[in-house]
Structure 1
């Protein structure tokens, strides 16, 4: 099969690789669309020791089952592979299991390839009406769905009257805004420094956008729910500055660094600070249902390129040269 292989820092090679062999309980999926994630970019830069080269990256995938009773069935892939007997899985929090694996991380090659193997329990059927490039967005949007759900559970007011700010307008940040809109948030704003991304965000009805530091930035202690989709020192500080007394901060981003939290304000004003990582199987299937029903908007913020052009796509993302919040590679 053909695959896009990470061979070293800032190096990707499109080449022939052995086709995967499904193990017991697994399916083979012919990948038709696969998104480039921030974690793929992190590995591409050589910053992820969990993803050593050579390795096939990519975990945001959709396609068709190859062989067996479900041959040619259209599916999207939940890439988190967990032992169903794990206590965390039994209580419904599969994503926190110490047994978890993810495709694109050894020992499981990823989906920047024509074929990928995956446990049958990890595929979700999709109808012909859902474009395959939209089906590949299920994984990143599920990350946002989980984060927004956590925030809503901790709010002390109806979401319809809540002010929500998302820090970062990349794929996860934009998806958080779309999910908050789907859940009925009263006011949604996204902070983004990249002018191309701000243009993309401006096209989304019901979502405001501002440049951090300008006059449109929310006032101090005025926001009910802050979703930090960047996870940098500066965004943690911004989240603490704008969150209201008794408000909620959900920390999603995974950039290096630990500074920025105003622990005194968090304590004195009873700010709820929660981490958010991945999603549960229910979050994932709920996200797919919302995509199928068209409840997350037109999803016009993606750009499609061929898998064979993956190296150029990574470079475009790296340089900020694209207005797309997500590049989807087609095989």
Structure 2
């Protein structure tokens, strides 16, 4: 099969790789759509020691089961594989499982390929009316869904009268904003510095989009619920500045490890900081259901490109010339692989 393999810093090679073999309890999935995540970009730039080359990246995927009793089943993939038996798994917090693995990180190869194998419990059936490119968005949106759910619990469960802000207009930020709306928020602002991306997001209904220096930018101490979908020192500084006394910051992005938080202000103003990592299995299913029933909108803010052109897609994202919050790579399947 063909796969897009991270072979060196800023180098992706479209090459032949061995076909994966499904083991007991697994399915072979023919990948039809796989999104480029920020973590893929970190690896591409050589910034993620957890993803050493050579490695097939990609973990936001949907496709069709090949072979077995589920042959032909359309699925979206929960890429996080947990042990199912530890204390965290039994508490339905699979994202905290100490034995968890995720495709695109050793020992598991990723979904920038024509096929991948996954445990059956990691597959969610996609209805026929939902494009598989949209179903692949379940993974990035689930990260925001999870953060919104945790923050909503701290804030009393009702977001309808609260002011919410999302920092970052990439797929994580847009997914968080859509998740806020789906979970009851009405006043939502997305802060995005890239002008090209802001113009694209202006057509996404349900929230306002602004640059950090525009009048629509929430002032200091005015936001009940801030979601940082970027995770740089500068965005954490912004989050801790605009959060109101008693407010909540949900930190989803993993762009930079340290710096930015105003710990003194957060302490004196009793601002709750929630670190969030991926999602639980239930969060993933709930997000997928929100895609299927339309609560997360038309999802027309993605761009599709051939998997073979993945190197150019990564370079365009790095250059800041991509308006779409998400690029979906589509494999060109070969008859000999089926």
Q: TM-score, normalised by structure 1?
A: 0.98
1:10 is the counterpart of 2:13: no
Structure 2 distance, partners of 1:125, 1:291, is: 12
Q: Give matches, 1:1-331, under 5 Å.
A: 1-156=1-156, 158-331=158-331
Deviation for aligned residue 1:156: 4.2
| Number of residues of Structure 1 aligned to a counterpart in Structure 2 | 331
Residue 220 of structure 1 deviates from its aligned partner by 1.2
Task: Show CA shifts across 1:246-287 (max 9, x none).
Answer: 110111111224222111211111111111110000000001
Moved over 6 A (4+): none
RMSD: 1.0
CA contact (8 A) 2:224 2:248 kept: yes
SS for the counterpart of 1:159 is: coil
Q: Is the 8 A contact 2:60 2:136 kept in 1?
A: yes
2:160 is paired with a residue of what secondary structure?
A: helix
Matches of 2:241 and 2:102 in 1, distance apart? 35
Shift of 1:177: 0.7
CA distance in 2, matches of 1:272, 1:278: 19
Q: Tell me by how many angstroms 1:316 deviates.
A: 1.1
Alpha-carbon contact 2:61-2:77 (below 8 Å) kept = yes
2-structure distance, mates of 1:95, 1:183 = 21
| SS of equivalent residue, structure 1 residue 239 | helix
CA deviation map 1:79-114 (0-9, x unaligned):
001111121101110001110000011111111111
Q: Is the 8 A contact 1:201 1:207 kept in 2?
A: no
- 1:64 alignment partner, SS class: strand
- Pair 157,137 (structure 1): closer, same or farther in 2 beyond 3 Å: closer
User: How far apart, CA to CA, are the structure 1 residues paired with 2:101 and 2:11?
Assistant: 24
Cα distance in 2 for residues equivalent to 1:257 and 1:52: 19
Q: Is the 8 A contact 2:158 2:184 kept in 1?
A: no
Unpaired runs of 5+ in structure 2?
332-338
- Change over 3 Å in CA distance of 1:157–1:108 after alignment to 2: closer
What is the DSSP-based 3-state SS (H/G/I as helix, E as strand, rest coil) of the residue aligned with 2:75?
A: strand
Check the 8 A contact 2:76/2:138 in 1, yes or no. Answer: yes
Deviation (angstroms), 1:157: 7.1
Q: Which moved more, 1:107-116 or 1:248-257?
A: 248-257
Q: CA deviation at 1:226?
A: 0.3
Partners of 2:94 and 2:262 in 1: CA distance: 31
Distance 2:138 2:257 in 1: 28
CA–CA separation in structure 2 for the residues paired with 1:275 and 1:260? 14
> Do the aligned partners of 2:178 and 2:206 also contact (CA within 8 Å) in 1?
no
Aligned equivalents of 1:123, 1:131: Cα separation in 2? 16
Per-residue deviation, 1:196: 1.1
Shift of 1:170: 0.6
The structural deviation recorded for 1:206 is 2.5
Instruction: Give structure 1 stretches of 5+ with no counterpart.
Output: none
Q: Is the 8 A contact 1:169 1:192 kept in 2?
A: yes
